[in-house]
Each structure stands twice: as structure tokens, then as C-alpha cells.
Structure 1
Amino acid sequence: MNTNPNHLVGLVLAPLLGACLLAGCGDDRGAGDGRTDSQSLRAQEKRAREVADAWHGSAAAAAWSRGYHPMADATQPPESGWHSEADKQAYETGNIVRRGKLPTTTITRGKVEWRSGSTMNRPLVEPNTAYQSFARYNSAGPRLTVTGVKLGETTITTSRGTATVPAWLFTLDGYDTPLRQVAITPSKLPEPPIRQAQQGSAGGLRNVAGLTGTAADARSLTVRATHGACDDGPVVNVLETDESIVLYASVTGERSGACTAQIIEQNVRVELRQPLADRVVLDALTARPAPYGDGPRSSAA
């Protein structure tokens, strides 16, 4: 697996002398000790197996299989592509403004239609709420302008395969194709059938921040993992079963001594033995489905 630095999600809070605020930082476990590393890995694998076994045939697994759980970004750029690097930058930073007011709607539900023929009705997101999910700033520099919106549809990858869903189609100034924002809410995440483990327990186990992508052949996942300033980076391993993929994350090269309290995110590519298909991707620490994107956006229904 390959790791690529992404970005900081925490600030340096304070330098500490002789100690570190991060869980596990300042602990020399695994540094030059192959036996200890093996023990830690076995403990992590044991927890991953416990999570997989608990999910097998559980009510949580049944609820997950019946739900609408997106596995791709809800915001989709224009099909024609960005006209310039400045427009791409504006989109990536969320520097987007609107011309005029957005309409209101009396429609409250939308239909999800899977290629298998299954359907589901889900709550519809208001146009203004959908707009605010991608238009986060109004500042100097490159920006995009929304000039109108209408209700249409798009396709999105879900835990049950590709589905056609309602989408708000936002017209952008200067573009012939719209920016699409999925207009319905995901299903509520099921309660895990096994309790969450403690951060740093089970051989230094850490949580997985989320998923950021799936390969076109579905044989690898890109995972957001975290580490601190007193280690050499995150490691994400995987336990595969017929029903689930359990990710178990830790860090390597932990060092003792002075450390700063910061959290660093990295994208880690995890290879799979078999394509993802409809298997649930679980985080071994929390025993919950790993969220796609910045975190769970499920509704209460």
C-alpha cells in the first residue's frame, strides 16, 4: 500500500517537554522490536476478527443491506470539466456565490432506484441546504457563480451498487452542463453489534477517519488515516470476509520525547483480494461502517 500526505486537520496546540498528548505517542513499542510489532498486529487482527464475527448475520448487517448508503461524492462537477485551473480551485475551496435567490420546493421525498430494480423513498434536501454543502465561502480570489437551479437526477455509487437518485442541478455562469448535488439524505447508520474499543488499545489500534475513493475495478480503497508528529505515519491493514471488509489502523515508528499535539491526515491505499461488491466496510476500532468523505451524513430516518 502507498501513502500520500493529505492535509492537517488539527493545529499545533502546544509544545510539550518530555511528553506527548497524542495517544500512544512517546511510547517506544515496536521501535526495533519485531516481537512486539507482531504482538501488536495479532491484537489488532483479533479485534478485526471480533468485529467481522459480530456483524455476520446481525441485525446491523441486515439494516445496512436495506439502506441507501452513498460510496461516492454527493457533489458532482460539470460533465464538461472545468474551464480553467482558477475555476477548479474555486470549486475545491468552496468559493462559490449565487446570483439571486434559490427557489423553495413543496416536494419532501425522492426515490432511489437501483439497477437491480429495488427502490426506496428518502427525504429530499432543500435547494439552499444543498447549495451550502458545496458553497462554503465568499472571499477574494477565484470564484464560481450559481445562476439557477432545478430538480433533476444523477447516478451515484452506493453500498448496493449504482443508483439513480434525485439531484439539484445548479447552473454555473459560463458552463453548459450543471454542477449536480445529490438531493436526498443517506439512511441512518445501524448501531454496531459490538462495543467500540478504546483508542490505542488492541495493540495500538486507531480509528479510520473515512473513505475517500474506490478504484474503478473495486479492488482497492483509499482510506483517510491519522497520525501525529511523533511517528512515521499511519498503517492500515484489512481483514476480508464474504460479508465485510474490516479496516484496522495504527501508526508506525512511534518515538518518545518532546512532541506537539497535532493530528495529520494521510490517504492510504488498501488493496483487496476480491472486489468490494456489496460488502460493508467497517472500522475495527468503532465497529461502525467507515464513513465516505468527511464523515457520516445520515439522517434520523
Structure 2
Amino acid sequence: MRTKITSTVAAHLLLALALLTAGCGGEEGGHHGAQERREDRARRVAEAWDGSAAARTWRAGYHPMGEAVQPPAGGFHAGADTRAFTTQNFVLRGTLPTAGPAEGEVRWGSGDPLVLPLTTAREAYASVARGGDDGPHLTVTGARPGAMTLATSRGPATVPAWLFTLEGYDTPLKRAAVTPSTLPRPPIGPQREVPTSELAPLAGLVEVAGDGRSVRVAAGHGSCDDGPAVHVLETGGSVVLSAFVTGEREGPCAGVLLRKEVTVRLAGRVGDRVLLDAFTGRPVPYGVPNGASPSWHGVSP
């Protein structure tokens, strides 16, 4: 039995992975014509985006492709502090600024800066301090406005940031204060009703290599298969990634959601090309959806 994915734009990942494990026992290999249909879908996604108003809006915006939260210079002193950071277990023992500018500038090496809304110190703190257990914690004693360098869809950018003073550290923890641009409405809808051996959604972007010639992405799969694979279609305006599950097998399967990172080599640099998910028809988001480092927020009407 092959797994089917039915996805809405708002919940494509959770729904797709849930259905993937529910089926958890497919025929060995894919079905006839799957590769042709996968390639056709990638071409249609590229054609829809290349030269579109959505692509122009995307390139004009601020879309983080790196961590919006950066540890103190040199990293954390001990494993307990690293655990506190990853579990977002913070304690506030100080006063956070209650006022600040409403907007700030994002600056790239070339081109005009972009003025965007800023978060408050309290909002920035709340985005990193979501833990609440009795385990190891980091103590924040204050915050001040500053700046940080962050990878974006348009290359490295200098962005406004809140610099949080940590007890025991000489340099601050940085949290980007600028709000990402809204994702433009995609010019093509998501793929529907296909086997995961043909096409599946990506879980997110992990990293773009420093030379721009490869990308590392996360893809989901089940416990009765050989894992995910990712094919690439490159055009002058976009890089379309098509994820699918390989080696699905019949048999009893554990109901678990698995995630694997896949490195995709490119013929040319990513540059300002839009990195797209063939399944969703959207730019591939960086990081965990709704996490501390989202690539975007919302979709324009």
C-alpha cells in the first residue's frame, strides 16, 4: 500500500507526515511514471515563479535563512548551558527596556535598505525563553539594542537586534529584532493526492553552503522505507527541490515520524534565485515552523 498525502497550505507538513506513517508499508520502489510526473511538477512550479510578481516581491523582502538567535561569542561554557539554550529555559533577573523604535533598517552589501517593524525587548525575550522546567537555565540580567549579521534570501544582512546580557558571559546573546517580510502569495497551489514515493513536502531548509553551490534540507519519511531523496531542477530564476520517499515496503511499521537531512548539490550558486519546494509550490522555509527562526510570517492576501 502506498501512502497518500492530502495537504492544505497551512498544515502541509504535519498532515503529510501523519499520513506518511499511517500508511507505513508500501510496495518496493515507486510506480511507473513517477519520475516523469515529479519532473513535470517541478517544471510547472519553476514556470509559475520565474518572472512572477511573487518572485519580485520575495526578492525585495527580508527572509531569514540563518539563525535569528545567536549564542555569545565562543559558544556556551558548559553542556548545561547548551541544554538550557536548546530547551529555551531562561530566567529573567533584571529589567528589560520598555521603549524603543517601532521600525528599523535591514542593510545588505548592496542595494537599498529595507525598513521593517521591530519587536520589543519583551517580545524578543519571550521568543527565546519558552522553557519552564527545573533543569539547567540561563540567567538574563538585561538587554540593549544593537545589531547582528544574518543570512537571508538576499545574502548576508545587518539587522537590528536585542542583545541580552547573560550571567557569567562577557558577550551577549543576540536575537534579531526585525520582523520578517510577509510571504507573497504563491503563483501556484500545492500538489495534492500523490504517493510519497512520487512527491512529498520538505520539512525545511537546514543550511545553504557558504559558496552557494549546495543546500542541506530536512525531509520526512516513515519506518518502512529507505529514507527520502531530493531531486533538483535549476532555472535562471529558481531552484526547485522535489522530495520523495524511496524503498517503501509492506509489513508492520512503527508509527513514528522520521526526519533526515539531505545535501543537494547544485550546478550553479543559489544567488538570488528562489529556493522552492515542488510539493508546496512555496519557498522552502528555514528552520522549524513557528520556531525562533522563521523564514516568514503569514501570507499576503
Alpha carbons 2:143, 2:162 under 8 Å: kept? yes
Distance 2:88 2:214 in 1: 28
- Of residues 211, 214, 217, the one that matches 1:220 is 214
Which letter does structure 2 place at the counterpart of 1:257? G
- Offset at residue 199 of structure 1 (A): 5.0
1:56-105 residue CA offsets vs partner (Å, 9 max, x unmatched): 11111111111111111100111132212222222122222211342212
- Of residues 60, 76, 83, the one that matches 1:82 is 76
Unaligned runs of at least 5 residues, structure 2: 1-12
Moved more, 112-121 or 101-110: 101-110
1:133 matched to 2:123? The reply is: no
Alpha carbons 1:43, 1:203 under 8 Å: kept? no
Distance 2:180 2:102 in 1: 14
- Offset at residue 140 of structure 1 (A): 2.5
Q: Tell me which residue corresponds to 2:223.
A: 229
- Of residues 20, 38, 47, the one that matches 1:44 is 38
Alpha carbons 1:72, 1:158 under 8 Å: kept? yes
1:276 matched to 2:270? The reply is: yes
1:83-139 residue CA offsets vs partner (Å, 9 max, x unmatched): 122222221222222113422124211111111041111110121221122222132
TM-score, with length taken from structure 1: 0.86
- Offset at residue 260 of structure 1 (A): 3.7
Q: Tell me which residue corresponds to 2:59.
A: 65
Alpha carbons 1:283, 1:289 under 8 Å: kept? yes
Q: In structure 2, do the counterparts of structure 1 residues 292 and 44 end up closer, same or farther at CA, with 3 Å as the change threshold?
A: same
Which letter does structure 2 place at the counterpart of 1:51? V
RMSD: 2.3
Alpha carbons 1:96, 1:145 under 8 Å: kept? yes
Q: In structure 2, do the counterparts of structure 1 residues 105 and 227 end up closer, same or farther at CA, with 3 Å as the change threshold?
A: same
Q: Helix, strand or coil: the match of 2:58?
A: helix
Q: In structure 2, do the counterparts of structure 1 residues 234 and 254 end up closer, same or farther at CA, with 3 Å as the change threshold?
A: same
Q: Tell me which residue corresponds to 1:150.
A: 144
- Of residues 133, 156, 160, the one that matches 1:162 is 156
Unaligned runs of at least 5 residues, structure 1: 1-8, 15-19
Distance 1:214 1:293 in 2: 12
1:261-283 residue CA offsets vs partner (Å, 9 max, x unmatched): 33211111111111211111100
Q: Tell me which residue corresponds to 2:3.
A: none
Q: Tell me which residue corresponds to 1:176.
A: 170
Q: In structure 2, do the counterparts of structure 1 residues 299 and 232 end up closer, same or farther at CA, with 3 Å as the change threshold?
A: closer
Q: Tell me which residue corresponds to 1:111.
A: 105
Which letter does structure 2 place at the counterpart of 1:172? L
Matches within 5 A, 1:234-245: 234-245=228-239
Q: In structure 2, do the counterparts of structure 1 residues 239 and 21 end up closer, same or farther at CA, with 3 Å as the change threshold?
A: closer
- Offset at residue 201 of structure 1 (A): 4.9
Q: Helix, strand or coil: the match of 1:294?
A: coil
- Offset at residue 181 of structure 1 (A): 0.3
1:93 matched to 2:81? The reply is: no
Distance 2:114 2:126 in 1: 25
